């Protein structure tokens, strides 16, 4: 297999059906982590490994839970071996606004990051590449990738929700995000000749 980062270096963008399968697989892993009370905090293409089986299929695996943080209970949050809530760990291009502020860990952080990964798979760049400070402030409030100007309206609607400033405006779960993504790209095999 290979990392999603290596696949993006090789192909720049991925066809929507392949992106759909990757989002679906990553969302399942993230959903499982969230049900166990963990936030990954550094979801990005480098931490997604695409395992190839005997056939042509690939299975995405989420790696590097090294900075994962529990959000399950006050006792877990107070554990001495874990980082403090206000410590900003992660990769800025994939960090939710509230994660950048150092708020308490929340599953919505991973949903934001998965939205950024989905955007990158479809367009070949992160959504806020034109924001030099790497401070994500929401899909509608900064100039996002030029690729979105010609993207199908359903895509823009999906990313508007997945990259909403307020966590409560994002999908409620990784499964819901994957379902929304399925609907957004349904019937779209290729947009830019990927």
Report residue 12 CA to chain centroid gap: 17
Tokens of 178: 């994957």
- pTM recorded for the entire structure: 0.82
Identify the pLDDT of residue 45.
96
- Looking at 42-51, 81-90, 166-175, 178-187, which range is the least confident one? 81-90
Q: What are phi and psi of 50, to 5 degrees?
A: -100, 105
How many Å apart are CA 194 and CA 190, to the nearest integer?
A: 6
How many Å apart are CA 20 and CA 71, to the nearest integer?
A: 28
Report residue 67 CA to chain centroid gap: 16
Closest of 91, 151, 165 to residue 123, by C-alpha: 151
Point out the catalytic residue in the list 32, 42, 140, 179. Answer: 42
Asked about 42 being catalytic, the answer comes back as: yes
Mean pLDDT for the stretch of residues 117-131: 82
Identify the pLDDT of residue 63.
86
pLDDT surpasses 70 at 79: no
Closest of 141, 140, 145, 97 to residue 118, by C-alpha: 145
């Amino acid at each position: 297999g290979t990392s999603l980062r290596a696949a993006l270096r090789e192909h720049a963008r991925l066809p929507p059906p392949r992106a759909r399968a990757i989002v679906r697989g990553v969302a399942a892993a993230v959903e499982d982590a969230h049900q166990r009370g963990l936030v990954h905090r550094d979801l990005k293409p480098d931490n997604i490994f695409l395992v190839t089986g005997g056939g042509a299929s690939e299975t995405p695996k989420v790696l590097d839970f090294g900075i994962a943080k529990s959000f399950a209970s006050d006792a877990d949050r107070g554990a001495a071996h874990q980082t403090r809530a206000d410590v900003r760990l992660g990769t800025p291009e994939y960090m939710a606004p509230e994660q950048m502020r150092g708020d308490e860990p929340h599953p919505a952080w991973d949903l934001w990051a998965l939205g950024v990964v989905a955007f990158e798979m479809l367009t070949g760049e992160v959504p806020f590449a034109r924001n030099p400070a790497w401070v994500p402030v929401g899909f509608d409030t900064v100039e996002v990738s030029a690729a979105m100007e010609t993207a199908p309206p359903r895509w823009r609607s999906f990313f508007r929700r997945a990259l909403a400033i307020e966590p409560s405006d994002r999908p409620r779960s990784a499964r819901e995000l994957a379902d929304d993504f399925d609907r957004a790209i349904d019937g779209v095999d290729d947009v830019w000749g990927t």
